[in-house]
Structure 1
Amino acid sequence: MELVEIGALQVVVFLFSFSGMDYDTGIGREWLVPNGIGGYASSTIIAANSRKYHGLLVSAMDPPLGRRVLLAGIDETLRFGCESLELSVHKYPDTVYPQGFLHLASFRMENFPTFIYEASGLRVEKTVFMVHGANAVFIEYSVVNPDSIECEILLRPMVTNRDFHTTRRREDHSFETLTSEAGCEVFDRENIVLGLASDKAVFLKDESWYYNVEYDHDRVRGLDYQEDIYSPGYFTLPLTSGASFSIVASTPAYGYDTSALKDACRSWREIKEDEIVRRKKLVERAGVTSVFGEKLVLAADTFIVQRNGDKSVLAGYHWFSDWARDAMISLTGLTLVTKRFKDARGILSTFAKNTVEGLMPNRFTETGGGREYGGADAPLWFIHASGEYLKQTMDSKFVRERLWKTIKSIISWYRKGTRGVHSDYDGLIVSSSHMTWMDAKIGDWIVTPREGKACEINALWYNALRIAEEMARLFGDEDNESTYHELAEIVRESYSKFWNETEECLFDVLSEDGADDSIRPNQIFAASLPHRPISIEKARRIVDVVERVLFTPFGLRTLSPSSPNYRGRYEGDVVSRDSAYHQGTVWPWLLGHFITAYLNTHGRNEQSLKQMRKLLSPFEEHLSDAGLGSISEVFDGDPPQRPGGCAFQAWSVAEILRAYKELG
């Protein structure tokens, strides 16, 4: 990782040398370029797709969802008379062919991924960038041929048309390709799938198929990992004098229609510069002063997407949609500390207007515009996020007009009961077993059953009541102010039931079967939230226990290693991974709340701040691993804490960025 200057802006460049790089090492690092509406381009640093989710154009057909892999990649071949040299990389059963990474001199990631190949006296530089707000990707090529070697380049698009959760075979497709002035149009069963064009290269129709392409990461994860891919032909361009040109791929749905492709291709330099300027402004607005901070701000931008005229948050790439829980937990880090207040309003509005009987969509479904309701914590995180928005913006008008009704409705429904959530006689919230964030379920097996009164749900409930009380006072709503105050007092008194005197921390869940004394990180929220239902002395003891038992360099374990149910490795197929998901696996987002809880209980003095800043150091190195420039969803509970899950996770980035800003 190195630092370069672009105007007044310092930009982090991830630079990798490929001397001796092998295939397995190369697919261990992934890059991703989002388009702001849910689509993206993504692959590995050796340009080998290791997931079915990888592709140069993954389009959001119903933004931010309905994602389909349209352009899986482009095969590049240098032709010298009768000899050819291939720069691409594919995995087939028991073989990797071709092995273009052997000609890859370096990879760098500034704003966009850039591959530099050196072969037979030529230097080929390829950069991938997307149009913000459109399902369109540009692949820019710059070729230097100092000795004027007679050579041409052949660029063969690899096209598929499928939901990005699936794979397909040749018999599942029905493609037709029509050449045009711009390049070509690929149709699938009467619908335009893809338009392809180049500003200089000429397209020649030459249909072919790639059979049994494999995706190694999916194979390891126990998913479908083989498919057949169609190619409509190839673009070609002589390189004897070198060249600088581009190829654009787009779909008419939220992208360029075919008539606009050629003009767009001619303007690729301006389009690229516009996106660089947009990103630069994000960094400047956030007011960060370090390389680490700049990368976190740009990483945060990855997850903020358009939804029906408002905004939302994709929980993680590559496979998650927008989830209420993840969006609300992430909102402060993604939008408030970065001063993206308009986006914050859009996100809050999206989930406020999708609230039904006090609950928010656990997630939006990938297709069909559906919503799945079920999380007991998401509405309470919504009230917390609304309170943070009000605190940082003083925008009482928006909160009163757009959010206050929803906040009152949530509290009302929780008190009388709704869909597996209700307030008990003691004021505490009771929820079903799969309604907390620890919600892994395999068939009928609930891996982490937490039915009853969960400690974090009730810490959030108390916090929400106090925030609502403050808002009611601000808005002159005396009746609700009094109601929320009285209920909060009852909840605070009842919360003492969670105290585990033996372990000097909180029970995880209270139920009819007794108290669950599993040591989990859920108790940290009782010490980190703005309004805490416990004394400062007990909060300090919680922090001490969590630090001693659950802390790792990349976050908090979800279960004490001394528990018989502890699973220290997050690996294998779906069953193996889900059985470890909340049973010891480390989650980085929890570290943000640990840091805040530590400062709340140990003071915000220079010694505490310095000690907490050190906890962020491992993530500076991690930005060059797994998902480049981002933070993974999870890590192993056991050393050396290997990254896993989504390589680009919203709340991981958001909470580390929020903590970074809090530490100053």
Structure 2
Amino acid sequence: MPFQAAPGLGGNLPYALSREWLETDGTGSYASSTLCGLNTRRYHGLFVAALDPPVRRTVLLSKIEPAIVSAGRAWELGANQYPGVIHPDGYTRLADFRIDPFPTWVWRCGTLAVEQSLFLVQGARLLAVQYRLLEGVGAILELRPLLAYRDYHALTHQNPALNAELHETSGVVSIEPYASLPALHFAHNCDSLARTGDWYHNFQYAREQERGLDFEEDLFQPFVLRHALEPGRPATLLVSLEPRDSAEYDALQAAELERRGAFGKDRLTWAASQFLVARGNSTSVIAGYHWFTDWGRDTMISLPGLTLETGRIESARDILLTFASHLSQGMLPNRFPDAGELPEYNTVDAALWFCEAVRSFAERGG
């Protein structure tokens, strides 16, 4: 069944922070946050890209701060934890959240109702976001992206090394903050773009603080997009590692709806699919989100449930061949490191679980 937030979500911050959503794309890349968009982990982000799929995951786009301006009044829709305060208070205007078919939020601002939906495109390392005006007239949407551009295990702070230069072409704005990381491209259909180049300071992540880790960082805000929202005139944004065209949105959405529709109402099978990722030309298994990579022991234990029980016989074959190709002195790799170094061989029982997985595979006619 589609998950929807409980009635009275608006203003119920403890409830909103206690639940998280996750979007994946089969490359190891993901998008994730809490229901109200207040990031509580260093691993949260709207576009956490696997630069060497499925590893080297990097928080490129931490979040987008939306705001609505109408009749001389501004409503900010985001929420962040700063020292001693949560700002802005967009969670008080959050009227609804649903996860099917895509993560979708609805905010109420006076007589206006504004919807945000987003999805990752399978295999493309591309985030698609759209904003629609559901009720009311005369709304100006403002979008302020906040960039982290750092390893997902790390945190970042204001620094002079960041390159704030923007490159604009028709309907696309690009930025390459650091030469060691790929540029990020924002394809959009918005009415105007204004350069800002501001640092926002002292974001705090409560889950990291609870773990006894560093929990504060700064994020870079390069520009603001503005768009007059009207019924039938949405604002569209495609965020990717390669330049795209915002006009692709409808086709990308239709393809994702068809792909996801194949799962029907089987939420468990859909959830299982999010652990399957590409490794080169083959398939592997992410041991868990947000921070695990593909682990040999975990993969072999979970393989029957993730693939054989869900009818993915070819995926099971690919996974077994992937790990068999890394066999060394009778052992399977226990972990493929984030940075793409040599696999780690430090588990004895992974090879035994491999034999059990092969037996299950053979019994299913593989």
SS in 2 for 1:362: coil
Q: CA deviation at 1:145?
A: 4.0
The aligned residue for residue 141 of structure 2 is 153
Supply the AA of the counterpart residue of 1:70.
L
Q: Is structure 2 residue 195 aligned with structure 1 residue 214?
A: no
Q: Is structure 2 residue 347 aligned with structure 1 residue 375?
A: yes
TM-score w.r.t. structure 1 length?
0.53
1:208-247 alignment runs, 5 A limit: 208-239=198-229, 243-247=233-237
SS in 2 for 1:175: coil
The aligned residue for residue 142 of structure 1 is 132
* Aligned with 1:184 (options 173, 179, 187): 173
Pair 1:182–1:23, CA change in 2 (3 A): same
* Aligned with 1:268 (options 249, 269, 273): 249
Deviations 1:230-268 (A, max 9, x none): 0111110113566323111111xxxxx22xx12xx2121
Q: CA deviation at 1:160?
A: 1.7
CA distance in 1, matches of 2:230, 2:271: 39
Q: What 5-or-longer segments of structure 1 have no aligned partner?
A: 4-11, 252-256, 285-290, 396-664
The aligned residue for residue 162 of structure 1 is 150
CA distance in 1, matches of 2:14, 2:204: 14
SS in 1 for 2:319: helix
Q: Is structure 2 residue 282 aligned with structure 1 residue 301?
A: no
SS in 1 for 2:344: strand
1:263-342 alignment runs, 5 A limit: 265-281=246-262, 283=263, 294-342=266-314
Q: CA deviation at 1:276?
A: 2.0
Contact residue 183 and residue 203 of structure 1 kept, 8 A: no
The aligned residue for residue 122 of structure 2 is 132
TM-score w.r.t. structure 2 length?
0.95
Contact residue 201 and residue 245 of structure 1 kept, 8 A: no
Contact residue 132 and residue 231 of structure 2 kept, 8 A: no
SS in 1 for 2:329: coil
SS in 2 for 1:169: coil
Q: CA deviation at 1:78?
A: 0.9
Range that drifts further, 174-183 or 367-376: 174-183
Q: Is structure 2 residue 22 aligned with structure 1 residue 22?
A: no
CA distance in 2, matches of 1:173, 1:105: 41
SS in 1 for 2:51: strand
Q: Is structure 2 residue 186 aligned with structure 1 residue 196?
A: yes
Q: CA deviation at 1:368?
A: 2.9
CA distance in 2, matches of 1:192, 1:182: 19
Contact residue 227 and residue 235 of structure 2 kept, 8 A: no
The aligned residue for residue 102 of structure 2 is 112
* Aligned with 1:93 (options 73, 76, 83): 83
Q: What 5-or-longer segments of structure 2 have no aligned partner?
A: none
Q: Is structure 2 residue 162 aligned with structure 1 residue 174?
A: yes
Determine which structure has the larger strand proportion and give its number: 2
Range that drifts further, 234-243 or 70-79: 234-243
Pair 1:242–1:267, CA change in 2 (3 A): closer
Q: CA deviation at 1:173?
A: 4.6
Q: CA deviation at 1:278?
A: 1.3
Determine which structure has the larger helix proportion and give its number: 1
1:388-399 alignment runs, 5 A limit: 388-393=360-365, 395=366
Pair 1:201–1:31, CA change in 2 (3 A): farther
SS in 1 for 2:271: helix
Q: How many residues align?
A: 364
Same amino acid, percent of matched pairs: 34
The aligned residue for residue 586 of structure 1 is none
Q: Is structure 2 residue 238 aligned with structure 1 residue 248?
A: yes
Contact residue 82 and residue 204 of structure 2 kept, 8 A: yes
The aligned residue for residue 645 of structure 1 is none
CA distance in 2, matches of 1:229, 1:151: 27
CA RMSD of aligned residues (A): 1.7
Supply the AA of the counterpart residue of 1:388.
S
Q: CA deviation at 1:273?
A: 1.9
SS in 2 for 1:296: helix
Q: CA deviation at 1:201?
A: 4.1
SS in 1 for 2:146: strand
SS in 2 for 1:60: strand
CA distance in 1, matches of 2:10, 2:351: 51
Pair 1:241–1:335, CA change in 2 (3 A): closer
CA distance in 1, matches of 2:285, 2:341: 16
CA distance in 2, matches of 1:19, 1:164: 29
